[in-house]
Amino acid sequence: MQELEGRTALVTGGDSGIGLGTARALVQAGMRVVVCGVVEESLQAAHAELSRLGTAEAVQLDVRDRDGFARLADRLDQQHGGVDVLVNNAGVGFLSPTAEVSFDQWDWVLGINLTGVFNGIRTFLPRMLAVGRPAHIVATASIGGLLGAPGSAYAATKFGVVGLMEALAVEVQGTDVGVSVLAPGIVATNIHQGLRPPGEVAEHTPGGASSGDLHVAAMQPDEVGIRVRQAILDEQFYVLTHAEHRELLQRRFDALLAAVPSGTPDVRRAEVERLVLRNPVYDRVLARRTS
């Protein structure tokens, strides 16, 4: 998208943290921004702040509520001609190890972090395609969606978001809809103080780090929001935030390549595998890097 001013954006989980930082960046670019959340007090505070910067609205919405998504989409169609930028940001933090995760907790984390993203896309993507003007969809994953960090249920949701968005990028090729996936590292948010899962939960921090350790040098949400805004303008697919992740990602990808069987590939089989699995988003990202 080359022009944001005067367009409409919807940001789920936009009442705090990365969502609010992104909402600030978009409203400062002249967009009409609708933020969604589940806590009335934080929604009101976010609305008051964003309204001082530009045009904003706050709506109470649980991203698991598909009927609520549909009602909101209908209203935004009628009032503003639809949504031009969708930021699927709502999420919860939950780092319990697998042996301690109940079935209800698993369903809760996936319902918000992964199915909630799908609900937003499935609601708004067909409308964006029908309108036919430039649009963009962002989903917030995590660096924990690219690296197997502690917290298996959380990691499963974030790996799922990355896979969902990589596949979606292929599906919308040739349309006016762009796609980005955000994979931030540690950011100064209140996600650890957000919604609580059902049942009993023992407190866990990744790698045994204390809460103070995690936030001593945490990136600020506004910095992430600016990166997201630029990714929309530049049609950038991967939005990574921390230079500190380069070495960690390199080790993972080297480990994957080291596990590939040696030997000469079968030519016919290679053609089929390439036909099915080759994702042009990787080529586009690499081409932009070298241009």
Q: Which residues are catalytic?
A: 154
| Gap between the Cα atoms of 71 and 115, Å rounded | 18
Torsion sign (Cα): 255, 258, 261, 264: positive
Q: 93-117 burial string, b = 16+ CB within 10 Å, else e?
A: bbbbeeeebeeebbebbbbbbbbbb
Instruction: Please list, in sequence order, all residues whose beta carbon lies within 8 angstroms of the beta carbon of residue 249, skipping any fewer than 6 positions away.
Output: 146, 147
Q: Please tell me the distance from the alpha carbon of residue 162 to that of residue 55, in angstroms, as a whole number.
A: 31
Phi, psi of 235 (to 5 degrees): 55, 50
CA distance 184 to 89: 11
Angle between helices 115-131 and 152-171 (to 10 degrees): 20
Residues 84 and 70: their CA atoms lie apart, in Å, by 16
Beta strand residue intervals within the chain, DSSP E: 8-12, 32-37, 56-60, 85-88, 135-140, 177-183, 238-240
Cα–Cα distance measured from residue 116 to residue 88, given in angstroms and rounded to the nearest whole number: 8
- Paired sense of beta strands 56-60 and 85-88, if any: unpaired
Dist CA 48 CA 54 (whole Å): 10
Paired strand residues for 180: 138
Residue type, 26: L
